[in-house]
Structure formats: C-alpha cells, structure tokens
Structure 1
Amino acid sequence: MSSRPPSAPPRLAGYEYEKLLGSGGFADVFLYRQARPQRRVAIKVLLSTVLDESVRHQFDSEANVMAQMSTHPSIVTIHQAEVSGDHRPYIVMEYCSRPNYGVRFRKERITVAEALRVGVQIAGAVETAHRAGILHRDIKPANILVTDYNRPALTDFGISIAAGQGEDVEDSQGMSIPWSPPEFFADPPRADVRSDVFSLAASVYSLLAGQTPFERRGQRNTATDLIQRIASEPLPPLNRPDVPPELNRALSIAMAKDPAGRYDTALAFGRALQQVELSLSLPVTQMDVLDDRGAAPAHDGEVDELTEHTRIRKVATVDPETGTSPGGRRRVDPYAGVAPALGAAPAAAGPASWSGASAPSAADASESTMLRPAGAPAGSVGRAPLASEHQEPDPERPRTPAWPFVTLAAVLVILLGVGATLGVRHFFVEEEEPPPTSPINIADDPEDPPGAPRSVELQVVAPEQEGGRTGRVKVAWELPENFAQEDHFIVQWQDLPANYDRYAVQHEVHGRNSVVIEIPPQLAERCLTVRTVNPNGQSSEAEEKCLNG
C-alpha cells in the first residue's frame, strides 16, 4: 500500500462506499456496495492530481483490455468503466475478498498442489491474452487475486501492450523487478510472450520458496542487486523435500536467461505443470484457453456478410497427456540444452518417472491410473484370469462369514489401546509446566531510515510556451546505497505560491529512478526535492535541485 494519504472516495450514483482496499502510485481502490444488482464491487479510481495524459491513456487501456479478457474464468471481471462527477476515471471490478498471493506467499507455506493448480489456471489466462494479442508485462503474486470460490484470477493489465509492440517498451513504469525477465533490463528493453512465461514461472517459484527467485536471505537485495542476479546468476533450485525434480526442471526452462531457451508459449508451460501433477498422482487441473481462431459457420454452402464478420469462440481444454496435436509425432526434447532431461525409470514406475519434456504413451498412462490391491503385480488388474489361475470353491465346505471375527478383533484392539493410553498418562506422564510467558509491548529496535537519492539531475524536455502551456522537466537520480526493492521515491516542488496547488502535489515513483513532471510557470527560481521512502513510512533526507530561469 502507498504511504501517501488516500484520496477521498467519489460519490457514485448507484454505489455506496464501504472502505479503502488499497492505494498505488496513481490510483486508489475502494470497496463499494452496488444497489442494482446488489453486490460488493472493487472500484479503482484514478487520482485527481494525475495530469499526465499517458497515465490517463494507460488507465483507459487497462479497462478496455480487462473487459476484453474478463470472460475468462481466471481473469478478474470488469463490470463498468466511467468518469465520476469530479472528473476522475474509475473502473468497477469483481471484488475478490480473499488475500491475494502477494500477501500469502510471505506469510504461509503454500503446498505444491496449490502452486501447481494456480500456475496451470493462470497459464490458461495468459495464453488467452496472448492469443488476443496482449502482453501482460507485470505478472506477479500480488496481481493474482483469489475469488470467493477460491479460484485464482489475474488482474492489473495497466502496463500491458500489444504483442506486436514488444520491441518498443521504453515505458517501464510499474515494472516489478523481482519477477521481471532479463530482457526487460536490456538496452533497448524488449518483450514477447516468453517474457510473460518467465514472470509466471517466477511467481510460481515465489509461492513455493516464500521469497522472490533471486532474493538472498542475509544479503543485500537492492534493485541493482536483483537486476544483476536476474541477468547473470542461475536460478537456485527449490530445496523443499516435497518439490519433485520435474518441477524444478520446468521452472528452470521457463526462466531461462535467453528467451529462445524457454517454453514458446504459456500453454506449453501450463502443460509442463500438468505433467508434474500427473507425476505426483495429483488431480490434473483443467487449463482453459479461449481460442477465437475457430472456423466461421457456413450457410448452405454460401458465405454471406454476417458469416464473414462472425467467429465461433470455443474454449479449448488442454489435454495434459499429449504435447502435440492429434495424430502428430512427438518431438525430441527441445529443452535438453537448458535443463537436462531427468533419467528415465522403468515403465512400471508409472508417471513419476516422467522427464517433464515428453509424456508417456497411452498404454503407460492407462496402466499408471489403475487401482491395484496391495501386493498385486503390475498388469494383474483389468484382465481376465488365466485358466491356470482359475480355482473353484469347494462345494462341500460351507463358507463361514468373516465379518464377526473382524468386528470383534477391532473392538478388542480399540479397548486395549484406550486402556494403555490412560494407564501410561496416569502413572508415567508428569504434568506439564505452563509455558513461560514473554514480555509484550516491547518496542523493536528502530530501523535505519533509507538512504537519500544521489546525483539529482534536471533536464527540460518541453520548454514553456506562450499561451499558457506549461513546460515539462525530466527528474533523474541515482539509487541510494541501501535501496531495497520495496522502497519508492517522492518528488515534489518546494516553496510554491499559495495558488500553485496544482504543481505542489507529491509524485510517487515506484520501480524506477526518473519521472517527467510539469514545471511551475512564471517563477524566477524553481526548486524541487527527491527523497526515499520505505514501506514503514520512514523517509530519507531530501535532496534538493533547482531549475533556474
């Protein structure tokens, strides 16, 4: 949540304000109750102080993209987008009341089964967005919400771009460094569908590790440190005993440094996670992909105008047991150079011996899901007995039912167990001493405030013009020595006249070290400050820089 005070919730016809849900750099999210139909909704409202037209355009684009995608079961639903009476754009969204995964992965141990389920379902959402020509560019645990039906839902398409614009991503505003692929930090930065695959895999890794992929406990984890590790250091394998080698291999492929070494699509990554589910004998999660490339219906062998402008949208349910189209041949493992294939086990081992790069044959898959009685040999279930194995019961000896003996034995065992437990507790177990109490309300040692920004520079990018058009200046600085990934910056003009409220606002900057702001006009000297703020609200010393003339 942002350290700035939240804006006042707007009055919206048909909605009743309840509470603040969160704040970001340019918008606040409030909980409202809708009157008709009655339901609780989350409403994202752009700040009235945001004057940057690019931000407003980005806000409108987010509404349009999410509305286009929100029919998918794993993408947050958009209900409405409008402008309030006080001229603030807002988006009415589905309210997800459960904690998002950005909160959960830091506080609790998430099971492998849940992480795989989330990865598969969000992979279907990302694949659907890619097929519609949209790159998300900011996939991270905090952007995976949880619906009331405990289903993950992807949100925040605020910095998404068209897939064809991947070579022009200079605007890195809002980029989340810990989950970003190396190509985001290249010169020039670039992005394609494999960039989203990297971020999705990094999110799944975080759910299982309890920290971001390249975070190092006990070491510096500044933005600069993380970028250097993302670009050059290998991905540490998850060392949880319940994480199988197949999952570590799938994550290594999806997070390869070179995009050419990754899975080509989110669909392929989701299928790899499904294969891990099979190897662990877990229920296979369905991956829903909305495919709008179906053939148009023909009308009596003719194509009319309506047919030409109609597409049949179908949901393609991905089969985890095949990695190719029906009738196609299996490919040789294309990722052997990125993550070596795991050693193959005998066929009787079932799906636990999968390498994660090739699926078992139909016969193997069928054999692996049969239920056998304990001690039965493989292949003995599901077939008729051989003649040599067939035995008839002796007709002259009546069969005595076994259930009375089994019941009696069970009752005796239970009575003996209860009696032994009570005896041991009475004669041998000493009464436990109450646990020692710990003092409360003892203040923690105060943290050191964040370091101040360094080498603040001002560059006029648009000079003032006659007719009232204000100029614009780019403010840039170097990161402080102890900068952490959760810190952000506040940029603000100082000592402005009373009627300059428009220019006196604080500009919050997250994930970057520059910002373009408007220049207060008709002043002899204009000075601004830049300071660092950590999540606890502690602020550094302000670094001042003046723009003369």
Structure 2
Amino acid sequence: MSPKRAPAPPPLLPGYEHRRLLGSGGFADVFLYEQVLPSRPVAVKVLLSEAVDTDVVEHFRREANVMAQLSSHPSIVTIYGAAVSDDGRPYLVMEYCPRPNLGVRYRSDRFSVAEVLALGVQIAGAVETAHRAGVLHRDIKPANILVTAYNRPALTDFGIATTTGEADASTGMSIPWSPPEAFAAQPWSGRESDVFALGATLYTLLAGRSPFELPGGSNSSLDVIARIERGDVAPLARSDVPASLEAVLRSSMEVDPRRRYSSAQALGRALQQVEAEMSLSVTQMDVLDDSLPVDAVDDQDGGATRIRGVVEIDPHVGDGPRLATSSPAPAMPSYAAATQIVSDATVVRAPAGPAIPRPGELPVAAEAGSPWGVASEQAQAVRRKRSRTPIVATIAAGVLAIVVGVGIWLVVTSGNGSSQPGPETTIAAPQPNAPSKPIAMTATVEGDEVRFTWANPSPVDGDVFIVRSDPSEGDPIRETPVLPELSIPIDPDGQTCLSVAIQRTTGQQSAYEEFCIDA
C-alpha cells in the first residue's frame, strides 16, 4: 500500500459486497469485493475522486478497452466489467489473483530456473498477443505480473499502454526495467522496448534484483539510468543458470534495439530452446492473433507455439454513465529526489510543451499517478545533471554543428538524394527486416567433432545461415545450413572456431558472430 496517502473509502457497488483493501496506487485503490451473482471474489480498481480529470479518465478508459480486448488470453488478467459508482468514481472489475505478485515474491523467494523459463514463455505469448492487436504495454515489470489461483502468471496494468501506430509522445516507464530509448531526448516505445522490459523482468526473478542495480554500490535513479544507457548488466552469479539463458537475457537487453529479439514471440522461442537444452518440458506459448478467424488454430514448432484467433470482449464502458470529468487536477505533491535509491514506481513522461527546452535538457517527466505533465524532482535532477556542460564543450559543439551542417548542405546540393532531419536521440528507432547477428552460441565436444548451436534473434521466413570456419589444417568450411546447428571436425591446433551470419531472402546479411572452444 502506498505510504503517500490513506486509501479512499470503498464505493457502494450494486451486486458487489466489499471485503477489504488490496492496495493503493498513485490515483487509484484496489479493493477485494465479493460478486453476488455469480458468486466469486473480484478485484475492483477504483479511481480517486480528486484524480478524475480528462487525462486520467482517458487513461482509465483505454485500460478498460485494452484489457477487455485481450481478456481471453490465459496469461492476461481478465476484466469482467467497467462502470461508474454512484459517487462518480470510475471502476474496473477484474479477476482476483490471490497469490503474491512477482514484485513481492522476488524480494524474498528464490525462483528456480525452470519456473522462470516457463513463466517467461507464457508472458512472452501474452506480450506477443498484445503486439499483434496493436498494443504496446510499456510498463512490464515484476509487480505487473500477478499469479492466478491456478498458479499461472497473468500480465496486468495496461494503464499506460498505447497502440503501436498511435502518435503518443508520452512514455510510461519504471526505471529499473526500462530500455535506453525511454531516457532519450525524444523518448519512444516499440515492440523492442517491451522485449527489453520482459528480459529485464526475467533477469530480476533470477538475480533477486534488477539487472542494473549494483549490489553494495550506489543505486540512485541517476546511477541506474547511466548503467542502462551503457548496457552495464551485472552478472547473474548463479551456477544453476546456463550460459545460454544468460545470453538470451543479455540479448533481449541490448542497448541498440536492432540487436534485441525483434518480437516477444522470438524471445519466447529462445526461452523454449533453453528449456529443450536443459531437458525440461517445453512450455506452450499461446498467441492470439486478431487477423485470424476466432476458430482458427495454427500450431507451430511442433505444437510449442499455438496461434489462435482473438475472442474480443466488449467492456460496455460506454453503455452506462459516462466517465465524467469533474474537478481540476490537484496540486502536485513532492517526491524523492533522484539521489534516493531508485524507485520501482511507474513514471509517465509527458510530451514536450510549447516552450523550447534549453540545450541538454530532457523533456519533462511526470511522476506515477500524475498525468498532468508536471516535472518531479527526480526528473529535474536528471535534467540538471545533463545540462551542466562546460563552456569550452559548448563552443566546440557549435563549431562541430557548423561543420556538419556545411557537409550535409554539400551532399544535398551535389546529389539527387534528399535530406530529412532525424529524431534528436542517440538511439534510433529500428529499421524493419534488418537481420541481427546470431545469439546464444554454444559449442559441445562430441567425439572428434564440435557441435555448434545458435539462435536467430529475429527469425523471418526464408532465413538461412552463412557459416564459415578456417581450421589450421585442411580446407576452409563454408556452409549454408537452414537449422541453427552444425558439427565440424575438431581443429588440431587446439581451438575450434565457427563464425555465423544470418541472410534474408532480400539479400540482407547480418554481421558474423564468432564462437570458439578449446578442444
């Protein structure tokens, strides 16, 4: 329960009997109610009356619609309805998940590798389903994965979700699990951003801490953000975690989004491959695709992935009283500065206002539960630190800008091409269809041969692998296998190496990834 405020009194809801408070957030409380008919426990998320303004209601309405659309997925929390109470507070009625969420569990329990792999595959299917429906979650973290009565993980809290094609400059994030692009001068979110957050969440369950927290070190928001931007992932330091799994998680958290898995489904398949390598039962990944008929079923990977048509549920948000807006936004409370230990609360970065920011400043960020775009002290601290540029560096940057500008002008005026300004961010949005290097390479000695395996981080139909090896004796090896594996003779020189690249049917080819083993 949030320590910032006392919970509001539960509303009187027809057909429901209040039981107890489950928790409180920035602008909503969650209560346990007993539904009278049919008789069952339900979780009811109720907006605070003082938080009911246009922006908050729009986020709330969006959450209801998104969760209802995806409600039939077995790893997404089910929504039963949405309405407005007699005292004017909008509320959602959702599936009650009685077990502690993963944000509570990882701080006290040690997760087994098998459990993390299984729930990773299941949540990957949920995220892939959301993406195929055109929805980005944007706040995947342990606390947003609940556990049902049947001990199945269920993704929740789509309050800051957005559609993949929506022109929405605001970005939701919880710092410890956010990708680098969330902290760019012009933040953006893509499918790769959710892949990063899911990989960071799975790492957290294994390590008992977020990937960019340093045990015994300084873990302020500024420190953690700097490590995220550099890609400084601390080693897991668990002997029971195979190297292939650690490689999968690291690949999902690459700084460059183009080097991550291109989809949640690709990440799920990589986790399934680790399960197979460990001789574990391969967890089925359920993916619902709204482009397929409801009764269509497409089994892939021998049944390991099941793709079905989406069954949509109408939330009836517009059938009852409108989610009315009332009082203006309340005064913004003060929050901890960025020098505090990094918080796992959700932060909503608002779009830039009409004022032109100073050089080096970041767009204003709003604290969780504040959709009005008011900067928190934490965001201001980040801005102040990044704007302290020495005068000499400023002059040098100005000279460099002039030189670059002249160069661009010469290119544009001398050729037939055109020049368009790009986003002012060090991390560009990924270009589609560009293959990434193979990942999770392994090597195993089998008799007088070495068996190499690897994974395709962004598989596309028709992909082949370009393989080469230059042994100290004999002819060079040049192969184009379709499957991600190849056995070659042991090099008598003592070290056997293999280099692998991915080639598309379009002719695009990734860089080579090399792996060596002493044998």
Pair 1:56 & 2:57 matched: yes
Structure 2 Cα separation of the partners of residues 144 and 206 of structure 1: 13
Question: What is aligned with 2:350?
Answer: none
Question: CA 1:7–1:221 in structure 2 vs 1: closer, same or farther (change >3 Å)?
Answer: same
Structure with the larger RCO, 1 or 2 (CA within 8 Å, 6+ apart): 2
Contact 2:231–2:254 at 8 Å: present in 1 too?
no
Structure 1 Cα separation of the partners of residues 242 and 252 of structure 2: 16
Question: What is aligned with 2:2?
Answer: 2
Question: What is aligned with 1:146?
Answer: 147
Of 301, 316, 325, the match for 1:319: 301
**TM superposition shift of 1:20:** 0.2
Pair 1:234 & 2:253 matched: no
Structure 2 Cα separation of the partners of residues 220 and 107 of structure 1: 21
Structure 2 Cα separation of the partners of residues 256 and 117 of structure 1: 22
Of 279, 282, 296, the match for 1:281: 279
**TM superposition shift of 1:51:** 3.8
Contact 1:291–1:316 at 8 Å: present in 2 too?
no
Deviations 1:32-65 (A, max 9, x none): 0000000000000000011431111001110100
Return the index of the structure with the highest Cα Rg.
1
Provide the TM-score with structure 2 as the length reference.
0.61
* Match runs of 1:48-447 below 5 Å: 48-165=49-166, 168-172=167-171, 175-294=173-292, 311-319=293-301
Secondary structure class of the residue paired with 1:159:
coil
Structure 1 Cα separation of the partners of residues 263 and 241 of structure 2: 23
**TM superposition shift of 1:217:** 1.5
Deviations 1:284-340 (A, max 9, x none): 00000012323xxxxxxxxxxxxxxxx3453444427999x9xxxxxxxxxxxxxxx
Question: What is aligned with 2:43?
Answer: 42
Question: What is aligned with 2:343?
Answer: 486
Question: CA 1:487–1:274 in structure 2 vs 1: closer, same or farther (change >3 Å)?
Answer: closer
Deviations 1:190-218 (A, max 9, x none): 11101000000100000000001101121
Specify every segment of 5 or more residues in structure 1 that has no aligned partner in the other structure, as ranges.
295-310, 326-468, 490-508, 518-529, 533-549
Structure 2 Cα separation of the partners of residues 14 and 152 of structure 1: 28
Structure 2 Cα separation of the partners of residues 48 and 84 of structure 1: 10
Contact 1:41–1:93 at 8 Å: present in 2 too?
yes
Secondary structure class of the residue paired with 1:81:
strand
**TM superposition shift of 1:479:** 6.5
Question: What is aligned with 1:408?
Answer: none
Structure 2 Cα separation of the partners of residues 234 and 320 of structure 1: 37
Deviations 1:487-520 (A, max 9, x none): 889xxxxxxxxxxxxxxxxxxx745999557xxx
- Which segment is superposed worse, 40-49 or 469-478? 469-478
Question: CA 1:74–1:488 in structure 2 vs 1: closer, same or farther (change >3 Å)?
Answer: closer
Question: CA 1:170–1:9 in structure 2 vs 1: closer, same or farther (change >3 Å)?
Answer: same
Identity of aligned residues (%): 54
Structure 1 Cα separation of the partners of residues 216 and 30 of structure 2: 34
Question: CA 1:312–1:15 in structure 2 vs 1: closer, same or farther (change >3 Å)?
Answer: closer
Query: Number of residue pairs matched?
Result: 340
Provide the TM-score with structure 1 as the length reference.
0.58
Secondary structure class of the residue paired with 1:49:
helix
Question: What is aligned with 2:390?
Answer: none
Specify every segment of 5 or more residues in structure 2 that has no aligned partner in the other structure, as ranges.
308-325, 347-365, 379-519
Contact 2:26–2:369 at 8 Å: present in 1 too?
no
Pair 1:23 & 2:7 matched: no
Question: CA 1:55–1:200 in structure 2 vs 1: closer, same or farther (change >3 Å)?
Answer: same
Deviations 1:386-445 (A, max 9, x none): xxxxxxxxxxxxxxxxxxxxxxxxxxxxxxxxxxxxxxxxxxxxxxxxxxxxxxxxxxxx
- Cα RMSD over matched residues? 3.1
**TM superposition shift of 1:150:** 0.5
**TM superposition shift of 1:470:** 9.5
**TM superposition shift of 1:235:** 1.9
